[in-house]
Amino acid sequence: MKERKKLSTISIVLIIELIVMIILSLVVTKTISSTTRNSSMDNMQTITNERAHIIQTYVENSEKILQYYSKADQITNLLKDPGNSGLQAKAQAYTENYSKDINNLEGIYVSEWNTHVLAHTNPEVVGMITRKDPDPLKQLQDAMLAAGNEVYDTGIIISPASGKQIVSMYKAVYDESGEPIGLVGLGIFTDQLVNTLNDLKIKGVEESMYTMVNVKDTKYIFNNDPDLIGSTASNKSIKKICLQLSDENAKTEGNFQYKQNGKTYISTYTYMPKYNWLLMLDDTKDEVYSLSHLMRTYMAIFGIAIVGLVVLFSFITKRQEKINQKLANTIIKSNKTKESLYTAMFKDVLTDVRNRIAFSMDFEEAKSTEEHPFYFVMFNIVNFSEINSRYGNDTGDWLLVRTVDILNQVFKNSRIYRTGSDEFVVAFQTASAERKTGDILGDAQEAYERLTAAQQTPSMGKVNFGYKAAVAKKIGSINTSVITVLKSMLNKDPESEHGRINFTELGS
């Protein structure tokens, strides 16, 4: 009987080394796969949260528009004396003028407490009663009273007037004794919001789609299938989450998995308790975990290579380093995605200055004092649409960039915002002991003269462009009403087109 050959020491060492390397390979594969999956889910959750922030900001800005409208003297005076035709004419004129600065507006109006319309964006609606049935009227009145001095959000609905989807909201107006004397209402189309969300394409999740439902009734507010908007969600996971969140008052986020039309989907969600909205970002499981699957494939090949090339340990080590580098690149790409989303939300791409949303965020909690007041200087390009028509959009774009360049040269160390298609606001805080109002007006005059001087355009030669300018000094809390005041100063003064720079001081 032949004796079995004993394994050599080298063979034993190689076998042990092979086993160790295989075990290490399996552990590394599992770790990298898990890390990559978590990174993909975190990336989807970040995108969902940022889109929820865009939606909430859009609605909150609409609320501010209605709040400012309800506090206007023309509105409150009319509600105190609704039968006064002179006050009604002033309120109607103010409503129409106020509406011009509101993008995607369906309508804004003021009515008596019984919904008898006194002034409306659309004059033909004036005199109508919008809620004739007592029960719906009572429900609306109770909801506004429950909201107190805040805005009552009806939500995102299909407008019975236009048949389009709008953000609908109301606010009660009270007299000095605290009794309701009327209400104001606002409808903002969601088209711009939907377009903004659709334009936020993120590399790596091309098959993604977003959905939003009302937690209270599980009806779709947004869906990639327009026919489903307004219908009740049939997805069991959505129904379950809505039931869990129906009594939740804090922002909540998470994810779930479901199957539809033979495909498995992963959904990350964010709950906005203020509006009872659940926003979800869905993508196929294959795409979400595509990098994880790719990693597994690489590691499987790597394991096979270990069996045949165990002696080439140094080569295997370098291979591992390359895989780790790919993972690091994935994280870097994720961070760049966050940066690009931030830029899309808060910056004007053409002029590289901050936009109106950024203005609202920057000055949300800002305050100033007598010793350190804030100054806001608005410059508005006269007849900008005619400039585009006459000289072309390229010249119009060049003019916008040139305007920012000149403002940066004159107002150093200041923040510049593009608050409209043809308007810019320069914001800065000063020490009153160092710079007086006269100095600020002097800078504004210098900027005006440089802007209105003949400009050497790239394709049309020398051209003179018209501007309007206004300056506001603000002490105390600051918000976007500063922009409204500056616009009003420009629009009401016919001499502003001839170089007059109006100035106003705004108190607390």
pLDDT number for residue 90: 95
pLDDT at 335 over 70: no
pLDDT at 250 over 90: no
* pLDDT band, residue 442 (cuts 50/70/90): very high
Q: Which own/partner pairs from 315-322 qualify as long-range (CB within 8 Å, at least 24 positions apart)? A: 316/21, 320/28
* pLDDT band, residue 204 (cuts 50/70/90): low
pLDDT number for residue 494: 81
Give, in order, the Cα–Cα distances in Å from 309 to each of 21, 22, 26, 120: 11, 12, 17, 80
pLDDT at 65 over 90: yes
Q: Terminus-to-terminus CA distance in the chain, angstroms?
A: 106
- 354-506, CATH topology level: Alpha-Beta Plaits (3.30.70)
Q: Which superfamily does 193-288 belong to?
A: PAS domain (3.30.450.20)
Q: Which helix (H) or strand (E) holds 86?
A: helix 85-99
pLDDT at 266 over 90: no
The SS3 assignment for 185 reads strand
pLDDT number for residue 300: 64
Length in residues, the chain: 508
The candidate with the shortest Cα–Cα distance to 248, out of 267, 269, 213, 272, is: 272
User: Rounded to whole angstroms, how far apart are CA atoms 200 and 359?
Assistant: 21
Region for residue 393 given its phi and psi (left: phi exceeds 0; alpha: psi -120 to 50; beta: otherwise): alpha
The answer to whether the beta carbons of residues 447 and 406 sit under 8 Å apart is yes
The SS3 assignment for 358 reads helix
* pLDDT band, residue 20 (cuts 50/70/90): confident
Taking only the tens place, the pLDDT of each residue in 351-370 is: 999 999 999 888 888 888 88
Residues 6+ apart with CB under 8 A from 79: 110, 112, 118, 173, 181, 182
* pLDDT band, residue 11 (cuts 50/70/90): low
* pLDDT band, residue 101 (cuts 50/70/90): confident
Chain mean position to CA 363: 16
pLDDT number for residue 308: 64
pLDDT number for residue 339: 59
The answer to whether the beta carbons of residues 376 and 364 sit under 8 Å apart is no
pLDDT number for residue 2: 52
pLDDT number for residue 506: 86
Q: 305 or 309: which carries more pLDDT confidence?
A: 305
Residues 6+ apart with CB under 8 A from 369: 475
Task: Locate all alpha helices (DSSP H) within 347-465, ordered by sequence.
Answer: 356-362, 384-391, 393-410, 437-452
* pLDDT band, residue 226 (cuts 50/70/90): confident
The candidate with the shortest Cα–Cα distance to 478, out of 371, 369, 378, is: 369
Taking only the tens place, the pLDDT of each residue in 70-88 is: 999 999 999 999 999 999 9
Task: Locate all alpha helices (DSSP H) within 249-355, ordered by sequence.
Answer: 285-288, 290-309, 313-346
pLDDT number for residue 344: 66
Strands 423-429 and 374-381: antiparallel
pLDDT number for residue 291: 59
Average pLDDT value for residue range 264-274: 88
Q: Which helix (H) or strand (E) holds 59?
A: helix 9-70
Output the six-digit token pair for 177: 């004794």
Taking only the tens place, the pLDDT of each residue in 451-494 is: 999 989 998 889 999 999 999 999 988 888 899 999 998 888 88
pLDDT number for residue 260: 82
Taking only the tens place, the pLDDT of each residue in 109-120 is: 999 999 999 999
User: Rounded to whole angstroms, how far apart are CA atoms 210 and 402?
Assistant: 38
Measured N-to-C along each axis, helices 393-410 and 384-391 cross at an angle, to the nearest 10 degrees, of: 130
Greatest mean pLDDT among 39-43, 110-114, 242-246, 454-458: 110-114
The SS3 assignment for 309 reads helix
User: Rounded to whole angstroms, how far apart are CA atoms 88 and 77?
Assistant: 9
How many other CB atoms are found less than 10 A from the CB of residue 302? 17
Q: Which helix (H) or strand (E) holds 135?
A: helix 134-147
The answer to whether the beta carbons of residues 326 and 333 sit under 8 Å apart is no
Buried-state track 483-499, b at ≥16 Cβ within 10 A, e below 16: bbebbbbbeeeeebeee
* pLDDT band, residue 417 (cuts 50/70/90): very high
Average pLDDT, the chain: 84
pLDDT at 316 over 60: no
Residue range(s) occupied by CATH 3.30.70.270 in the chain? 354-506
pLDDT number for residue 92: 94
pTM of full prediction above 0.95: no
Q: Does CATH place domain 71-181 in 3.30.450.20?
A: yes
User: Rounded to whole angstroms, how far apart are CA atoms 169 and 65?
Assistant: 11
User: Rounded to whole angstroms, how far apart are CA atoms 40 and 58?
Assistant: 27
pLDDT number for residue 401: 95
Residue range(s) occupied by CATH 3.30.450.20 in the chain? 71-181, 193-288
Q: Which own/partner pairs from 10-17 qualify as long-range (CB within 8 Å, at least 24 positions apart)? A: 14/310, 14/311, 17/310
* pLDDT band, residue 160 (cuts 50/70/90): confident
User: Rounded to whole angstroms, how far apart are CA atoms 262 and 494?
Assistant: 65
